[in-house]
Structure formats: structure tokens, C-alpha cells
Amino acid sequence: MTALAGRLLEYAAATREETLADLAALVALDAPTGDVEALRATEDILAARLASLNGIVRRHPGPAGTHLEARFGPGDGPVILIVAHYDTVWPRGTAAARPFTVEQGVARGPGVFDMRGGLVAALRAVQGLLELGELRRPVILFLNADEESGSSTSEELILALGREARAALIPEPCLPGGGLKTARKGAGTFRFDVVGQEAHAGLAPDRGISAVHELAALVVRLGQLAQPEIGTTVNVGVIGGGSRPNVVAGSAFAEVDVRVTTAAEHERLQHDFERLTVREGATLTVRRLHARPPLERTPAISRAAEEAKRIASQIGLELGEGSAGGASDGNFLALLGLPIVDGLGPEGGGAHALDEHVLVASLEQRVALLGLLIALL
């Protein structure tokens, strides 16, 4: 074990209760993605926390909430970029209904695993390096407010910061067992709108063109575009249309989630979507609401993972690796060819579920691990 590894482990253990207090403070605040008013309380507490570490804090307000950028360390040298999000999938009132608890080494509460545990660990890691006098390279910590809805208003900011960086750390939840995520599916959401012709369903049904019927046929065709054997899925998750049972539907819509493992599959689906048609007299409009490219296991990501494993061994952690079906903001950074280490959050489970939790011992370990990676990667 190196001297720095030992000091970071001691620091993480000594500040364990402070780290849990930070986590409790965040979990107590509802931060549903898209709810700008509700997000503001979390934004303010995080901005104050970043400023308390003498970071140069910049707020980037937008229609989905305010993104936070904080810079630490010397003004020159290779930059380490840390990207995390502070929005959650949970609606207002969830924090009061399921308050933060710690029992038998397990912390529970809405957003504690995805991804406030990793966010808090990253903050504590930066603080540890500062207090130990070991922050010798510039660090940018970017916290966005819209990750759970696709990061549509923060994507360009993430890419701009990525162009400054030599490597990126993503403290999203790890794989079961603590492993890194060295490949992620790309994800996209598309909206299909069909406009038909309304008519009375009893008196003149032949004068109408049902948008609902046309959409139903489209749903079947969309399902046929999936190739689950290679990881391509197409899920029609939201559907609606029509006005009354006795009216031939004049409009209908569907929102569709797409997951792919390669950029080629993403392009193939977009091309196939553009070729879809409806019967004459009806119209189809396809809009991409948001999309993340896949994070493929590039040579740069592979090398970063191997180096992260070597560094983790200094604190007694044996990190595995694997792929994940969900996307992260690391997917955008992969486009830049950056070395990315994703899945650095603490062990736990229940993302987006009622049993969401993190292991307190792992949270402490991740503080030390993130500190080492910032210093040595």
C-alpha cells in the first residue's frame, strides 16, 4: 500500500459520519428531474458545499434546471473531469414518505444509490485531497440536473468540459459486486405522432382514417425492428390517442425507448424509423426527444479500467468489470475518445426502486478509491 492510499483510507474512515450526514442532507431533498422549482433546493446546498471547498463555482441555468461546474486544484496540467447528476426519478413528497435511514450498515432513501452515494463520495474525495495537501492537478466537478431525462440541456456542457480533460470519472452506481462499467448501451427516446381523419364511428366510419389503428400497426413493425440477440431493444412505453369512443381517432402518439450496444445499430434504427409509413391520407412524424450513443469498450476505456484496477488494489479492492443496459453521461464523453472510468459509486442496489440502498462500508471505500484515481489516473 502506498502512503497516499493509507492516508486516504484513514481520512475516509475518520470522516465517515460527516459523509453520511452529507448523504442524509441530499436524500432529504426531493429533486425530481424536470421539476426546476424542486431542484433548486438541492442545487443551492450543493453550490454551497462546493464553495466551502474553495472551488470556483459556476452555475449554468437552463429550462431543465441549473447545472453546476466547480474547479479545484492548480490552474494548469492534465484535467480530471468528474461528472455526476443530482436529479432523481422520484416525485415530490417521496423524501418525506421514505426518509433516509441507516441500519446495520445499510443506508436507504430515494436517490441514495442513483446517484447521491457516488456524488457524495466524489465530493468527500476532493475534500480529502485538499485537506491532505495532495490535490496536485486540476479537477472539474460537473453536476447536472437533467440526467434522468437524457441530459438534453447538459450534453453540450459535458462535451465542452470533456475536451479539456485527459480522463473522466463517473461515480454512477457500480455493477453488482463492485465492478466497473466498461460498456453501456446507447439509449434514445423517440416520439411517433400519427394524424388521421376524424369521422363519426357509426354514421360515416368509411370517411375516417383512424390514427389509433395506424399507430397500432406501427407498434407491430417497431417490435420487428428489435434484435435482442445482439442487444438491440425497442420498447413502446407510452401510447395514447383519440378523443371519444364514437369518433374515428384523428390523432395518436407513442413514445419509444431504444437501447443499442453499437453506434451502427443506433444508425440502423434511425434509418428504419425514417422509412416507416402510414396509409395514404394519414401522416406520420417521428421526433427524437433525446439520445445517448453507446459507450463501447474502446482501447482507451480498456486501458483506463486496467489502470483503475491497479490503483484500487492499493486499498485492497479487486475491481471487476462488465457491461450495463443503462446509459450514463459517460456515453457522451466516449465520443471524444477519452479514457473513462464508469461505475465508481458505492455498492448497493434498487436503482429507481423502493428498496434503493447503499452499503456504508462501500461508500467509505469509494471515497478513498475516487481520491486515488483523481491523484494517480
Identify which has the larger pLDDT, 238 or 77: 238
Give this prediction's pTM: 0.90
Percentage of residues of the chain with pLDDT beyond 70: 100
List, for residues 150-179, the tens digit of each pLDDT value. 999 999 999 999 999 999 999 999 999 999
- In this predicted structure, the answer to whether residue 303 has a pLDDT above a threshold of 90 is yes
Model confidence at 263, in pLDDT bands (50, 70, 90)? confident
pLDDT at 166: 96
| The architecture CATH gives domain 186-292 | 2-Layer Sandwich (3.30)
Same fold yes or no, 3-184+295-376 and 186-292 = no
CB atoms within 10 A of CB 20: 17
Q: CA 196, 198, 200: angle at the middle one, nearest 5?
A: 145
49 pLDDT tier (thresholds 50, 70, 90): very high
Task: Enumerate the domain spans of the chain.
Answer: 3-184+295-376, 186-292
DSSP state of 334: H
How much is the pLDDT for 30? Answer: 98
- Give the residue among 331, 300, 27, 31 at the shortest CA–CA distance from 151: 331
CA distance 165 to 78: 7
Pairing of strands 106-108, 199-200: unpaired
Q: Categorize the per-residue pLDDT at 75 as very low, low, confident or very high, splitting at 50, 70 and 90.
A: confident
Give the separation between CA 83 and CA 144, rounded to whole angstroms. 8
Cβ proximity of 172 and 115 under 8 Å: yes
Per the prediction, the chain carries an average pLDDT of: 97
For the domain spanning 3-184+295-376, the CATH number is 3.40.630.10
pLDDT in tens, 266-292: 899 999 999 999 999 999 999 999 889
Check residue 341 and give its pLDDT: 98
> Distances from the Cα of 288 to the Cαs of 191, 223, 231, 336, in angstroms?
6, 18, 20, 22
DSSP type of residue 315? G
In this model, does residue 1 exceed pLDDT 80? no
Residue range 188-222, pLDDT digits in tens: 999 999 999 999 999 999 999 999 999 999 999 99
pLDDT tens string 346-371: 999 999 999 999 999 999 999 999 99
The pLDDT of residue 290 is 86
Residue 70 has pLDDT above 90, yes or no: yes
Whether pLDDT at 109 is above 90: yes
What's the grid cell of residue 84?
455526476
